[in-house]
Structure 1
């Protein structure tokens, strides 16, 4: 009879063999890609996705390092000493992981690389300070891609059509059918990045995109895989080493085990991360704790308990896209100046009133009229006295557009 220990050993050997075979197939598949044959076969992409669903963080880490090695060696073969490599970095946690992984391999292979930061000029103060600190500590060759317009000018020129829908192509090709939030992304992020790639001639670009961030990201992951040639958008090779890594806070579960790869890697390697990740806000009325703003560990604990906690990501502060997750309440609690700027300078207040549920809007007008804040029960009257409205009812916009998906049951 075979002992349990021997069975476990054989199982581990089998797993190791399968993982080794997976890596060999990857090397062959990636090596066959060209600027004409730009993507892996769908079966290979799905195979990598399936493998990641049950792989340990250790195996994922090793695979990511091997992928980076393969990509860089292929780049050396194709471009020689002229090879130019860049890591796209938002100075968020996913970018940090990608930067760390690429750094490890580049040191091993003796390859230098640039780091490009798409600074939209609307970044959190914490991100700006962190970018400066990490650039100095890791001796990064930082290139800043900056827009030639401002978020305020974009909204002044286009108006605010809706804050809760995202349609169209952010490249700007859809024209007037494109919501202003898409035009904003195109002008502040995509256009400056295309310009930076063209000016610097990068052949390979690494980024920290992950499939679990949204359904849209998962669909692009299924289409492109973790290494491909972007012939349309960037016109360069794109590698996404942590594409199939997961995090507990992911908004989209594509059938993975949602293991905490991201923050476990940060803690495993003791990586210095952006302070914005320790500025999470509990936006749940059932919360009875004294601190509304909590650190990452506390936030993860409270989420596991079923409480609603807004956990910020890096990027534009004055962005309406996270409104569905309670971003307005978060800003009101943590960054009140930005909140007021969005309402007054960017004109979000007008649309937020229009986006309210009909009953909610009628109730608000009735209440404000009853207290004498407004004399006419109209949206225009609210806008005319918006300062007074916010003074009397600070939470007026907290629930507008917030996704009403059922929250996990709260622990007793």
Structure 2
């Protein structure tokens, strides 16, 4: 296909397109999937990164394909200091990357005034919507596709993720280069390439989100067991299908 494919987006991709490209990419490694994505979507591709272990791996791979790629971080204002620390390390290591610290529309004080204190405890889905989903929707506007570090073995809700996915929530194409990677693969890559990473990973935090809603996990627990502990919630909503009204 020629450069005209860069005009393709969520609205023009058919199910046959998704099937075709997943077949085309199925035997490629993650680095080649990333290269394909940037060749295909060009500047209409953005990476939304949480700066966890998977994110660090993807950033290193992306930097080898497009040194000035745009990286979006959803700065909820309630992240761990260790998360901000590793972001600063990444900025120093990859100075050409465009790291966009996307802010919510409401400050924490404004949110408390409107919805009450500690919204993450009283209405966690609403808190995620205001501080993550809505800001990402704004950050992705005008793009055709976004990259994500989802892996199939992270949780049952991610087990069927493909390299190229239809994202009904943000009306974009979602590309996930690491779907076949294990947790061990992630750490082998980090160690082999001497990459910085979030220090909380050494304290039994495999999945790291906002400080009030993230806890260490016990041996043998699901990697996302420490997210929204003790409530019926496993996802912030970025990777779930929109509910029908």
TM-score with structure 1 setting the length:
0.45
SS at match of 1:128: helix
1:226·1:243 contact (CA, 8 Å) conserved in 2?
A: yes
Which whole-Å CA distance do the structure 1 matches of 2:113 and 2:50 have between them?
23
Using CA pairs under 8 Å that are at least 6 residues apart, name the structure with larger relative contact order, 1 or 2.
2
Alignment of 1:71-90 (within 5 A): 71-76=37-42, 83-90=43-50
User: Please, which of 217, 233, 239 is the counterpart of residue 158 of structure 2?
Assistant: 217
Matched, 1:147 2:104: yes
In the TM superposition, residue 119 of structure 1 has moved relative to its aligned partner by: 0.9
SS at match of 1:318: helix
Matched with 1:234 is: 170
Matched, 1:188 2:128: no
Matched with 2:207 is: 313
Which whole-Å CA distance do the structure 2 matches of 1:240 and 1:145 have between them?
21
User: Please, which of 83, 87, 97 is the counterpart of residue 131 of structure 1?
Assistant: 87
Once the two structures are superposed, residues 86-145 of structure 1 have per-residue CA deviations (whole angstroms, 9 ceiling, x without a partner) of: 2211111111111111111225xxxx3211111111111111122122113211211111
Note closer, same or farther for the CA distance 1:155–1:202 as it changes in structure 2 (3 Å cut). same
Which whole-Å CA distance do the structure 2 matches of 1:204 and 1:162 have between them?
29
Structure 1, gaps ≥5 residues long: 1-26, 52-61, 77-82, 164-178, 248-259, 281-309, 327-399, 403-412
Once the two structures are superposed, residues 7-35 of structure 1 have per-residue CA deviations (whole angstroms, 9 ceiling, x without a partner) of: xxxxxxxxxxxxxxxxxxxx9xxx8x864
Q: Provide the aligned C-alpha RMSD in A.
A: 3.6
In the TM superposition, residue 64 of structure 1 has moved relative to its aligned partner by: 0.8
Which whole-Å CA distance do the structure 2 matches of 1:138 and 1:38 have between them?
36
User: Please, which of 265, 272, 281 is the counterpart of residue 189 of structure 2?
Assistant: 265
Which whole-Å CA distance do the structure 2 matches of 1:183 and 1:117 have between them?
19
Matched with 1:114 is: 70
Matched with 2:238 is: none
2:46·2:140 contact (CA, 8 Å) conserved in 1?
A: no
Which whole-Å CA distance do the structure 2 matches of 1:313 and 1:150 have between them?
25
SS at match of 1:212: coil
Segments ≥4 residues shifted beyond 6 Å = 158-163
The structure with the largest helix share of the pair is 1
In the TM superposition, residue 156 of structure 1 has moved relative to its aligned partner by: 7.7
Which whole-Å CA distance do the structure 2 matches of 1:240 and 1:106 have between them?
17
Which whole-Å CA distance do the structure 1 matches of 2:93 and 2:120 have between them?
42
Equivalenced residues, count: 212
TM-score with structure 2 setting the length:
0.71
